[in-house]
C-alpha cells in the first residue's frame, strides 16, 4: 500500500510512475497515455508528482496492511470488533447505507403521522413504521455501532420531511412518495444481495461464508417487505400529475445521493 509495484509480462518489476505507465500501456484505451508517460522527461515529472501525492495520501488513507477476510477483499479496519464480523470494507459501507436508510424510513412514517389526520394514511403509516423498526433492529445486529453513519441526525430530518411534506399535500402524494422511496430501496437491496452472492461463491462453507449467508437471508427478508410496501403504496394511490411525478423523481434522486454519502460518512 506504500507504493504501486507492477510485475511485467517478462518478469521485471517496475514501480511508481513507471508502474502506472506500464498499466496504461497494457490497456487499449490508454495505451497512448502509457507511451507518453514512459518518455523520460514525462516519467520524471510524473514520478515527482506521485511522490508528492504519497506524502499527502496518508492524510485520508493510512498506508497500513489489511488482511483479507474473504478472498479478493480487504477487511475493513476495525470492522471485526467484538462481534467478530468478517465484513469487508465495501460490505460495511453497504450496511451503513442500509442502516441510514432504515433510520430515515422510520422518520418518513413518523413525519406522516405527525401531520396527517387521514385514517387510511395513519393506519398505513403505523403498519409500515412497525416493519421499518424491525428492519433497523435487524441491520443493527449486523453493523457494529461505531460503523454507523455520522450523519444520522441529517438522515432523521430528511426522512421526517420526506414523510411530512407530501402528507400535507394529501394521501395520493404521500403514497406516491412511499412508492418512489420503496422502488429505490428494492433496487438498493437487490444490488447488495447480488454482490453478496458473488462473495458467497468465493467464501465457501466456512464461518465467514455462513455469516454472510445469514446476512443475505436477513437482507432478502427486508427487501421482500420493501417490495410489499411499494406495492401497497402503488395500489393505494398512483402518481397522476406532472408535479407529483417531478417530486417523486427528486425523491428517487435524493435517495441515491443519500446512499452514496452514507456509504462514506
Query: Applying CB under 5 A, which residues contact Fe ion?
Result: 102, 105, 132, 135, 226, 229
**Helical axes 119-142 vs 171-203, angle rounded to 10°:** 20
Q: Which element (helix H / strand E) includes 148?
A: none
Least spacing, CB of residue 132 vs Fe ion, in Å: 5
The rounded distance, in Å, linking the Cα atoms of 98 and 104 is 10
- Choose between 185 and 212: whose C-beta lies nearer to Fe ion: 185
What are the two backbone dihedrals, phi and then psi, of residue 73, each rounded to the nearest 5 degrees? -130, 140
Contacts 24+ apart (CB under 8 A), 116-124: 116/167, 116/168, 116/171, 116/174, 118/167, 118/170, 118/171, 120/171, 120/236, 121/167, 121/171, 121/174, 124/175, 124/232, 124/233, 124/236
- Choose between 126 and 241: whose C-beta lies nearer to Fe ion: 126
The rounded distance, in Å, linking the Cα atoms of 109 and 128 is 7
The rounded distance, in Å, linking the Cα atoms of 227 and 240 is 21
The rounded distance, in Å, linking the Cα atoms of 51 and 3 is 9
Least spacing, CB of residue 108 vs Fe ion, in Å: 8
CB distance 67 to 6 below 8 Å? no
- Choose between 139 and 203: whose C-beta lies nearer to Fe ion: 139
- Choose between 22 and 105: whose C-beta lies nearer to Fe ion: 105
Least spacing, CB of residue 207 vs Fe ion, in Å: 28
- Choose between 182 and 199: whose C-beta lies nearer to Fe ion: 182
Least spacing, CB of residue 102 vs Fe ion, in Å: 5
- Choose between 125 and 200: whose C-beta lies nearer to Fe ion: 125
Least spacing, CB of residue 223 vs Fe ion, in Å: 9
Please, which residues have CB within 8 angstroms of residue 257's CB and are 6 or more apart in sequence?
none
Which three-class secondary structure state does DSSP give residue 241?
coil
Query: Which residue has its beta carbon closest to Fe ion?
Result: 135
Least spacing, CB of residue 182 vs Fe ion, in Å: 5
Least spacing, CB of residue 128 vs Fe ion, in Å: 6
Amino acid at each position: 500500500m506504500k507504493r504501486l509495484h507492477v510485475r511485467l509480462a517478462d518478469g521485471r518489476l517496475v514501480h511508481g510512475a513507471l508502474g502506472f505507465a506500464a498499466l496504461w500501456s497494457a490497456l487499449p484505451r490508454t495505451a497512448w497515455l502509457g507511451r507518453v508517460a514512459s518518455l523520460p522527461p514525462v516519467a520524471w515529472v510524473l514520478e515527482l508528482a506521485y511522490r508528492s501525492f504519497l506524502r499527502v495520501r496518508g492524510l485520508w488513507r493510512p498506508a497500513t496492511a489489511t488482511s483479507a477476510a474473504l478472498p479478493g477483499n480487504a477487511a475493513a479496519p476495525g470492522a471485526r470488533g467484538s462481534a467478530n464480523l468478517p465484513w469487508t470494507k465495501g460490505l460495511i459501507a453497504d450496511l451503513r447505507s442500509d442502516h441510514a436508510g432504515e433510520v430515515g424510513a422510520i422518520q418518513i412514517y413518523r413525519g406522516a403521522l405527525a401531520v396527517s389526520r387521514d385514517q387510511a394514511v395513519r393506519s398505513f403509516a403505523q403498519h409500515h413504521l412497525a416493519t421499518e423498526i424491525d428492519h433497523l433492529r435487524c441491520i443493527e445486529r449486523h453493523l457494529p455501532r461505531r460503523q454507523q453513519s455520522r450523519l444520522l441526525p441529517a438522515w432523521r430530518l430528511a426522512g421526517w420531511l420526506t414523510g411530512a411534506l407530501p402528507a400535507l399535500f394529501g394521501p395520493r402524494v404521500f403514497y406516491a412518495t412511499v412508492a418512489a422511496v420503496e422502488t429505490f430501496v428494492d433496487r438498493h437491496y437487490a444490488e447488495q444481495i447480488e454482490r453478496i452472492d458473488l462473495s458467497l461463491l468465493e467464501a465457501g462453507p466456512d464461518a465467514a461464508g455462513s455469516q454472510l449467508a445469514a446476512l443475505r437471508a436477513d437482507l432478502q427478508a427486508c427487501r421482500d417487505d420493501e417490495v410489499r410496501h411499494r406495492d401497497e403504496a402503488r395500489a393505494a394511490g398512483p402518481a397522476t400529475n406532472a408535479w407529483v411525478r417531478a417530486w417523486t423523481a427528486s425523491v428517487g434522486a435524493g435517495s441515491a445521493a443519500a446512499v452514496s454519502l452514507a456509504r462514506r460518512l
